[in-house]
């Protein structure tokens, strides 16, 4: 009964993500218009056959821009979370397998990073590194590190006391071998769950940074940047706020739903085990 | 014939996966009886008693032919009447192992709740009565206990509070679900003595669930033996112990050799 | 108990120390020459030397850190390059706006989240629960800046219910001031409501499964009474700590919301500091904001221990 519902959530999330991924894939081969071609005679067009989602303040085709933006959103989301989860896993695993002083210092460092509001940490790094796509990726990755470090820390700690780990230890397997051969495979599902949910929030931060003018830079397109650029015209042309806003929500919702559904099924499996 | 206080006929309980947990159980409790239900955990004894009090969650499939509480057929009663009848007429003493007392509420704010709710008495009267009952169940500093949170009390004290709480509405029946587990032997004896006093001096009928054959043998005058969701044997304690008919009961009795030698001691 | 408080205070201090170190290193060390970064490449050498001198950049880094830290402890955060003013003064000027936003948004989000969370737990797997969970998911997925933009378009520009931009200080009337921050606060509140509902719902669900709830049925209480007195009491403490954690999210959201509604708060100040690369100002804001988050979390953790009788008297969970 409830398993069926989880599957529904998962399927719905997958559909949303598939929509975004297909848009992204198609955008590499086909775009209705040049996303950066300005056409001052066609500014603020309403949706039509020619311009599916209308045009913006420079007469650029909004649909094409949304398609191109999906590339950046997925790229930034994937790369930053991969980077962040990898570093976080290493940090968390070291903290969990070390003792006393080292452990508590590492955990305080993780706590310290947790105290930074995500966007604040990202802004701080952007201020130092400069605006731009790759700096945004680094900033978001660093934001993700403590999230994954905390999770891996508790997961590894749980596994450490398991029988098979103790057995491996008793015949003298090295620390690294134990972590990679024995512990990692068992905690991987939980990490993947967190990975999916984190991509949602990474894309959210990217769009916020771009909205503030600190992420993706013009003339490249990003959903957040599109909203920011058309901001002063939205009072007169409210429609401008919707296409990029809605695709952003669809993307984030999709990844969040997948993460939640996976997490729920995992909690249930553990409860019934 | 004495008054029948509890009556349950042909109870069946199924879980959500359609497994049968209780199969055709019938139970009775008459006035001035001390009845024991014995069986290991998972035998369905707690489920049966909870079903008699209509406490089982809705997702379990519960069916029965007849269910009476204090002489009234439960099927004819409205929800409100059911709550009133059970809430004021029956006291329930739970296992001591878990938080049946609300951990975030002081004893004085929860012990009198049922009394106030069912008798429309005020808080002061309830506290007075609670104090008397706490003394009666053997608590020497009732005021201190009333002002405490459950976590500040020892296991034995908490169980006494549970018993006092069950007595607040002057019930005719007390149902006790493994009330002595997790208590040390000295306290266990004291608590059992308390039940026995209630039964002999106050005329309260007691339905007593336990896996401890020794206690049941000593205090109960009639027993039900449950095994895998069924009542496999029932009757007067002395007869069942003297001449068990079911193989499970025989096995149970063999497991406790000291019982044989204890047979000559007084029966409750 | 005392042991816990001392431990918690100590670990809080370690975190604070770590934050100050990271902030210092990131902002003063990584950029190479902060003075050059602040002034830009077209700066005259004289000006650069002057700024270096005033920023204390000629000293070794640990001495710089020490001076900065001791200065920080007495409220001396240095001078903002862009504003030419004391950073501490700037912070104090902008603080009322952000605090009002945070407080008002919590005042909106918490009661709503409690009602929705409790109802969705009581009516688990029924339509109220489904609606609550959809609200939760949507709240999590909606970018705050977008919501702010849409609200601005509809409620301020379209319907004219709220001012399009700007902040009215309390001195010019309490309600006028409230009116000026109500819409941004609602936006911030919507951002918080997802996680709040989640924790309240799960806390309530676990309370409903506790054995004391069985006792309320034995005692024949109505559902209303047993939930009102017993279930709620058991569910209310755990979410306390999460509410403090929300603070980080609110302050983060404030940056975006303040920028859209043109509110002169900490968030706007931060954005200016980043855009102008005013590192001293940035440093001050970062330390101030994260310090607040750490301290508030520390205080709620300790309060949690004091409020919870199971810990206060028991020392451990049963």
Average pLDDT over residues B235-251: 83
The whole-model pTM stands at 0.82
Of C212, C219, C308, the CB nearest to B99: C212
> How far apart are the CA of A173 and the nearest CA of chain C, in angstroms?
34
On whether the CB atoms of residues C156 and C162 are closer than 8 A, the answer is yes
CA angle C246, C251, C257 (to 5 degrees): 120
Res A162 pLDDT > 80: no
Q: What is the DSSP letter of C171?
A: G
Residue C18: CB partners within 8 Å, gap ≥ 6? A108, A109, A111, A112
Q: List all chains that touch chain A, counting a touch as 3 or more CB pairs closer than 8 Å.
A: C
Per residue in C132-142, pLDDT tens?
888 888 888 88
Res C29 pLDDT > 90: no
Q: How far apart are CA C76 and CA C225, in angstroms?
A: 55
- Separation of CA A220 from chain center: 20
- CA of B168: which chain C residue's CA is closest? C219
Candidate ranges B70-74, C146-150, C238-242; pick with highest mean pLDDT: C146-150
Res C47 pLDDT > 60: yes
Res B173 pLDDT > 60: yes
Res A41 pLDDT > 80: no
CA angle C118, C147, A22 (to 5 degrees): 100
- The per-residue pLDDT for B257 is 54
Res C150 pLDDT > 70: yes
- The per-residue pLDDT for B264 is 42
- The per-residue pLDDT for B265 is 40
- The per-residue pLDDT for C185 is 93
- The per-residue pLDDT for A255 is 93
- The per-residue pLDDT for A220 is 83
DSSP secondary structure string, A85-142? HHHHHHHHHHHHHS-HHHHHHHHHHHHHHHTS-HHHHHHHHHHHH-SSHHHHHHHHHH
Phi, psi of A21 (to 5 degrees): -65, -40
Burial of B197 (0-12, 13-18, 19+ CB in 10 A): middle
Contact C25/A at CB under 8 A = no
Residues 232-271 of C with CB under 8 A from B: 233-234, 237
Candidate ranges B185-189, C109-113, C228-232, C233-237; pick with highest mean pLDDT: C109-113
- The per-residue pLDDT for A199 is 93
Q: What is the DSSP letter of B23?
A: E
Contact C225/B at CB under 8 A = yes
Average pLDDT over residues C1-16: 84
Give the model's confidence band at C41: pLDDT under 50 very low, under 70 low, under 90 confident, else very high. low
**Which chain B residues contact residue C212 at CB under 8 A?**
99-103
Tell me which residue of C262, C255, C267, C256 sits closest to C145, measured CA to CA.
Answer: C256
Pairwise pLDDT comparison (C285 vs A273), residue with the higher score: C285
Query: Which tokens go with B105?
Result: 């509420």
Average confidence score pLDDT of chain A: 83
- CA of C137: which chain A residue's CA is closest? A253
Contact C310/B at CB under 8 A = yes
- The per-residue pLDDT for A273 is 46
Of C211, C219, C313, the CB nearest to B98: C211
Of A117, A129, A208, the CB nearest to C145: A208
Query: Which tokens go with C183?
Result: 């819409």
Paired strand residues for C79: C86
Per residue in A195-234, pLDDT tens?
988 999 899 989 999 998 888 888 888 898 888 888 888 8
Q: How far apart are CA A144 and CA A124, in angstroms?
A: 15
> How far apart are the CA of A28 and the nearest CA of chain C, in angstroms?
26
- The per-residue pLDDT for C24 is 82
The SS3 assignment for C194 reads helix
Distances (CA, A) of C262 to A31, B39, B252, C258, C259: 36, 72, 80, 6, 5
**Which chain C residues contact residue A256 at CB under 8 A?**
137, 140-141
Tell me which residue of A181, A189, A130, A132 sits closest to A155, measured CA to CA.
Answer: A189
Residue C171: CB partners within 8 Å, gap ≥ 6? none
Share of residues in chain A with pLDDT > 90 (%): 20
Query: Which tokens go with B137?
Result: 């169940």
> How far apart are the CA of B268 and the nearest CA of chain C, in angstroms?
28
Return the residue matching tokens 């004893």. Answer: B107
- Separation of CA A58 from chain center: 30
Return the residue matching tokens 């969650």. Answer: B57
Average pLDDT over residues B204-228: 88
Q: How far apart are CA A232 and CA B2, in angstroms?
A: 88
Query: Which tokens go with A136?
Result: 């945004």
Candidate ranges A147-151, A268-272, C155-159, C229-233; pick with highest mean pLDDT: A147-151
ipTM: 0.85
> How far apart are the CA of C251 and the nearest CA of chain A, in angstroms?
7
Share of residues in chain C with pLDDT > 90 (%): 8
> How far apart are the CA of C221 and the nearest CA of chain A, in angstroms?
30
For residue C286, is the peptide bond before it cis, meaning its omega torsion is within 30 degrees of 0? no
Pairwise pLDDT comparison (A173 vs C288), residue with the higher score: C288
**Which chain B residues contact residue C310 at CB under 8 A?**
103-104, 149, 151
**Which chain C residues contact residue A111 at CB under 8 A?**
11, 15, 18
Tell me which residue of B166, B102, B114, B107 sits closest to B136, measured CA to CA.
Answer: B166
Of C220, C222, C313, the CB nearest to B86: C220
- The per-residue pLDDT for B155 is 82
**Helix H or strand E segment including C16:** helix C2-24
Average confidence score pLDDT of chain C: 82
A245/C149 touch (CB, cutoff 8 Å), yes or no: yes
Give the model's confidence band at A86: pLDDT under 50 very low, under 70 low, under 90 confident, else very high. very high
C212/B55 touch (CB, cutoff 8 Å), yes or no: no
- The per-residue pLDDT for C51 is 73
Give the model's confidence band at A163: pLDDT under 50 very low, under 70 low, under 90 confident, else very high. low
Average pLDDT over residues A227-246: 84
The sign of the torsion formed by the CA atoms of A80, A85, A86, A92 equals positive
Per residue in B76-134, pLDDT tens?
888 888 888 888 888 888 876 667 888 888 888 888 888 888 888 888 888 888 888 88
- Separation of CA A127 from chain center: 21
Beta strands in chain A (DSSP E): none
Of C142, C289, C293, the CB nearest to A249: C142
**Which chain C residues contact residue A205 at CB under 8 A?**
none
- Which of C219, C221, C314 has the highest number of chain B CBs within 10 A, making it the mutation to test binding with B? C219
Give the model's confidence band at C316: pLDDT under 50 very low, under 70 low, under 90 confident, else very high. very low
Give the model's confidence band at A270: pLDDT under 50 very low, under 70 low, under 90 confident, else very high. low
- The per-residue pLDDT for B77 is 83
Query: Which tokens go with A153?
Result: 């820390």
**Which chain B residues contact residue C221 at CB under 8 A?**
83, 87, 113-114, 117
**Which chain B residues contact residue C309 at CB under 8 A?**
103-104, 149, 151-152
C137/A108 touch (CB, cutoff 8 Å), yes or no: no
Q: How far apart are CA A123 and CA C268, in angstroms?
A: 12
Give the model's confidence band at A108: pLDDT under 50 very low, under 70 low, under 90 confident, else very high. confident
């Amino acid at each position: 009964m409830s398993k069926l519902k989880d599957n529904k959530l998962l399927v719905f999330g997958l559909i949303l993500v598939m929509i975004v991924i297909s848009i992204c894939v198609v955008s590499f081969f086909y775009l209705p218009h040049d996303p950066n071609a300005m056409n001052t005679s066609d500014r603020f067009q309403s949706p039509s056959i020619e311009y599916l989602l209308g045009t913006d303040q420079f007469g650029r085709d909004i649909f094409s821009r949304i398609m191109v933006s999906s590339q950046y959103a997925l790229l930034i989301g994937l790369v930053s979370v991969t980077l962040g989860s990898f570093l976080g896993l290493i940090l968390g695993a070291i903290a969990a397998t070390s003792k006393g002083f080292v452990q508590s210092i590492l955990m305080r460092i993780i706590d310290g990073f947790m105290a930074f509001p995500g966007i604040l940490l990202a802004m701080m790094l952007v201020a130092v590194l400069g605006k731009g796509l790759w700096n945004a990726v680094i900033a978001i990755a660093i934001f993700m590190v403590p999230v994954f470090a905390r999770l891996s820390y508790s997961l590894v700690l749980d596994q450490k006391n398991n029988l098979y780990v103790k057995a491996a230890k008793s015949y003298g397997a090295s620390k690294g071998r134990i972590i990679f051969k024995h512990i990692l495979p068992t905690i991987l599902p939980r990490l993947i769950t967190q990975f999916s949910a984190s991509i949602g929030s990474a894309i959210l931060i990217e769009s916020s940074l771009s909205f503030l003018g600190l992420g993706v830079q013009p003339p490249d397109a990003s959903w957040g940047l599109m909203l920011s650029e058309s901001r002063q015209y939205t009072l007169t042309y409210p429609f401008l706020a919707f296409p990029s806003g809605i695709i952003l929500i669809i993307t984030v919702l999709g990844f969040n739903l997948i993460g939640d559904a996976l997490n729920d099924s995992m909690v249930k499996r553990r409860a019934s085990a | 014939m004495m008054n029948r206080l509890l009556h349950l006929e042909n109870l069946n309980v199924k879980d959500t996966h359609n497994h049968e947990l209780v199969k055709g159980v019938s139970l009775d409790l008459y006035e001035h009886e001390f009845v024991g239900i014995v069986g290991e955990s998972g035998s369905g004894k707690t489920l049966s008693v909870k079903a008699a009090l209509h406490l089982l969650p809705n997702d379990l499939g519960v069916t029965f032919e007849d269910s009476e509480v204090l002489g009234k057929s439960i099927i004819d009663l409205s929800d409100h009447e059911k709550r009133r009848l059970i809430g004021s007429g029956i006291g329930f003493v739970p296992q001591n192992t878990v938080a049946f007392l609300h951990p975030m509420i002081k004893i004085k704010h929860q012990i009198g709740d049922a009394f106030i709710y069912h008798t429309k008495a005020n808080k002061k009267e309830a506290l007075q009565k609670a104090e008397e009952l706490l003394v009666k169940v053997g608590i020497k500093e009732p005021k201190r206990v009333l002002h405490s949170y459950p976590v500040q009390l020892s296991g034995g004290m908490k169980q006494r509070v549970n018993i006092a709480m069950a007595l607040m509405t002057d019930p005719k029946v007390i149902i006790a679900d493994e009330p002595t587990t997790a208590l040390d032997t000295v306290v266990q004896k004291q608590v059992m003595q308390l039940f026995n006093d209630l039964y002999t001096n106050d005329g309260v009928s007691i339905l007593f669930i336990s896996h401890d054959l020794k206690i049941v043998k000593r205090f109960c005058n009639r027993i039900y033996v449950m095994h895998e969701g069924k009542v496999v044997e029932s009757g007067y304690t002395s007869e069942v112990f003297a001449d068990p008919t079911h193989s499970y009961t025989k096995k149970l009795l063999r497991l406790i050799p000291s019982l044989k030698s204890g047979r000559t001691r007084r029966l409750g | 108990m005392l042991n816990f408080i001392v431990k918690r205070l100590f670990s809080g201090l370690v975190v604070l120390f770590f934050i100050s170190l990271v902030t210092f290193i990131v902002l003063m060390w990584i950029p190479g020459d902060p003075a050059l970064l602040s002034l830009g490449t077209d700066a005259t050498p004289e000006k650069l030397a002057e700024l270096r001198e005033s920023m204390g950049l000629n000293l070794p880094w640990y001495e710089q850190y020490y001076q900065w830290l001791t200065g920080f402890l007495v409220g001396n955060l240095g001078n903002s390059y862009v504003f030419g003013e004391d950073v501490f003064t700037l912070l104090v000027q902008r603080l009322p706006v952000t605090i009002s936003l945070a407080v008002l948004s919590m005042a909106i989000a918490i009661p709503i989240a409690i009602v929705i969370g409790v109802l969705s737990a009581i009516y688990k797997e029924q339509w109220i629960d489904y609606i609550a969970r959809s609200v939760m998911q949507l709240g999590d997925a909606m970018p705050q800046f977008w919501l702010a933009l849409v609200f601005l378009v509809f409620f301020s520009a379209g319907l004219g219910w709220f001012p399009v931009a700007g902040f009215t200080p309390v001195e010019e009337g309490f309600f006028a001031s409230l009116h000026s921050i109500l819409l941004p606060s609602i936006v911030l509140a919507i951002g918080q409501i997802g996680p709040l509902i989640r924790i309240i719902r799960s806390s309530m669900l676990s309370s409903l499964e506790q054995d004391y709830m069985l006792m309320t049925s034995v005692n024949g209480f109505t559902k209303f009474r047993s939930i009102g007195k017993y279930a709620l009491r058991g569910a209310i403490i755990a979410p306390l700590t999460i509410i403090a954690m929300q603070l980080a999210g609110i302050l983060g959201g404030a940056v975006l919301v303040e920028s859209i509604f043109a509110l002169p708060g900490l968030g706007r100040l931060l954005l200016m500091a980043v855009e102008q690369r005013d590192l001293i100002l940035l440093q001050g804001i970062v330390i101030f904001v994260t310090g607040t988050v750490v301290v508030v979390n520390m205080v709620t953790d300790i309060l949690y221990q004091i409020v919870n009788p199971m810990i206060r008297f028991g020392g451990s969970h049963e």
